[in-house]
Amino acid sequence: MKKAVRFSVSINPELLKSFDEVIVEKGYRTRSKAIRDLIRSFIVEREWERAEGEVMGSLTILYDHEVKGIVERLIDIQHKWFRNVISTMHIHIDEHNCMEILALRGLPNEIIEISNELISCKGVKHGRLVMSSTGRGIT
């Protein structure tokens, strides 16, 4: 590992207290590790925004499979974007709800459009896109 660089940060005491509470809840052993992860996420998001080529993402959606036509609509959208949908995993949560996790590849605007189209379907209760990057500069 390369030599670490130390730097200081000025922060409001209440904000620091809240941050410390969150990192304890999330199981971080040090502030440094939590801050490194936040910086990496920030850089990945920026790389994604500026990407001129292909990027990766994962989309998780939770939906009520009993909503009329939802399953067919979700499948139709995925087939429409078949070049971008690498893989899907379907999970039966209970007798009414399902979760799907999609691995996506393509230009940033395509990934966002696919995600928005799926999340906005009637019957989808929640959806979240997670952007990924090869992270060349974020070790």
pLDDT of 134 over the 80 cut: no
Fold held by 13-50: Arc Repressor Mutant (1.10.1220)
**The pTM is what?**
0.72
Rounded to 5°, the CA angle 3-41-52 comes to 105
- Which residues, at least 6 apart from 37, have a Cβ–Cβ distance to it below 8 Å? none
pLDDT of 104 over the 80 cut: yes
Name which residue leads in pLDDT, 24 or 139: 24
Q: How many CA atoms lie within 13 A of 118 on its CB side?
A: 32
pLDDT of 30 over the 60 cut: yes
CATH of 55-132, one of 3.40.50.1110, 3.30.70.1150, 3.40.50.2300, 3.40.50.300: 3.30.70.1150
Instruction: Write out pLDDT tens, residues 49-97.
Output: 777 778 899 999 999 999 999 999 999 999 999 999 999 999 999 999 9
Instruction: Write out pLDDT tens, residues 4-27.
Output: 888 898 999 999 999 999 999 999
pLDDT of 139 over the 60 cut: no
Name which residue leads in pLDDT, 126 or 51: 126
Terminal-to-terminal C-alpha distance of the chain: 9
Q: Which residue has the tokens 């393509």?
A: 106
Rounded to 5°, the CA angle 116-121-125 comes to 95
Q: Where are the beta strands (DSSP E) in the chain?
A: 55-64, 85-92, 97-106, 124-132
Whose CA is closest to 4, among 28, 48, 39?
Answer: 39
Domain ranges of the chain: 13-50, 55-132
d(CA 108, CA 49): 7
Query: Quick one: 136 exposed, middle or buried, by C-beta within 10 A (0-12, 13-18, 19+)?
Result: exposed
